[in-house]
Amino acid sequence: MKRLVILGGGESGVGTALLGKAKGYRVFVSDKGEIKKKYKDVLLNNEIEFEDEQHTESKILNADLVMKSPGIPERVALVKQIRAAGIQVVSEIEFASMFTTATLVAITGSNGKTTTASLTHHILKQELDVGLAGNIGDSFAKQVLEEDHNNYVLEVSSFQLDDIKGFKPKIAVLTNISPDHLDRYDYKFENYIASKFRVVENQTEADYFIYDADDEVIAEYLKTHQIQSKKLPFSLTRVMEQGAYLRQNEIIITIDNNQIIMPANNLALEGKHNVKNAMAASTVAHLLKIRKQTIRDSLENFQGVEHRLESVLKINKVQYINDSKATNVNATYFALESMAAPTVWIVGGVDKGNEYRELFPFINEKVKAIICLGADNAKLVKTFSNMVDQVVETQSMTEAVKLAYKLASAGDNVLLSPACASFDLFESYEDRGRQFKKAVRNL
């Protein structure tokens, strides 16, 4: 019996443990932190051996295969020992894909991947049996075990792609690339770019690659690297012979000789970046033979994603917007770009080597006050204090929202769009967003 060791007892780890056990592996789960009760209960009920708040090397280094949680970096000593012992390390998407013959749609990118994955799933589920997994929802491995859908939409991160071997999606989508997580890539942007492009590395000419042709980083990479799959770019500025483009207020999608035209002005989601997300999702749907009317209707009734430019409440004619999922500068760029009123901006958290310069035009034009919400706000204060009249600091979400309430006037927006990770003061970006919404409702 082969021994499968799983590092990390979260959603992907426990899902992999269940699938591994069902496929005849001897499974051991090890987590350096505390495993949540709901996951412990699953492991106990399924008689899967585990440990938490420690890693016992003797029980890990005898593995035939290790599934590493995407949150664990390569530089960790234990990971180096596993590599040195010649033990194969895979990610959950790699492991789960070995046990399904489903059509896989893998969506990656620095921003927009959650919205694009959710929107793609929303369209496909009208006519197909389809699961939504990866970085989102129930784990891919658990769904392969319990539901084995015919199709999966997978939101995949660069960390998940770092540990693939044979993972091969039928359709790969790359929404964009901007500097993010550089702390995990030796502060080298090219390493992060290469990691994102791993989504296509096992594809053949029978597969498809959908990407943003307006993204300079992607365009540059494609000039010097051969991609085997059929390319279907999308663009807001240029006509695309194959793929999708915008003409006046219509999205035109062409695949081989089959064309569909959809109105862009009825999209449920606002903003230029969401036109691109809609193009990517519609191109996937078109490839998978979803009816045009279904695609149109789905784009018009999609509700959006929690913590992504989510309207919370209007209080005294001030709109409160939760964009907690903006964990990098580029995501906040889209958020500020879409603000049509003077904005009180709540920003801060764990800086991943951020460069804020691209935000300056929006800050000069739209931001009236900045509230820095982080354990260490020094860089933000230094960067922005000469650009807006009021820059204040706090370490509490409740306090941040109360300050915003005082600083905002009728007709303004209060925008939580942190441009940083959340782990200094919050459990996760979801926790940060929920605390924001709770504080707004308590005003």
**Residues annotated within a binding site:** 109-115
- Taking alpha carbons only, the member of 267, 273, 337 closest to residue 303 is 267
- Kind and range of the H or E element at 52? strand 49-52
Residue 313, φ and ψ in degrees, nearest 5: -155, 160
For residues 12 and 35, give the distance between their C-alpha atoms in angstroms, rounded to a whole number: 12
CB 76 within 8 A of CB 69: no
For residues 375 and 392, give the distance between their C-alpha atoms in angstroms, rounded to a whole number: 13
| CA 105 centroid distance within chain | 14
Name the burial class of residue 191, with classes exposed (0-12), middle (13-18) and buried (19+) by CB atoms within 10 angstroms of its CB: middle
Please give the DSSP secondary-structure letter assigned to residue 194: H
Show binding-site residues for ATP: 109-115
Token pair for 146: 């319990």
Residue 183: Cβ within 10 Å count: 14
Which residues face 391 on adjacent strands?
370
The number of C-alpha atoms within 13 Å of 201 and in the hemisphere containing its C-beta is 14
| Helices 397-407/429-441 angle, 10° precision | 50
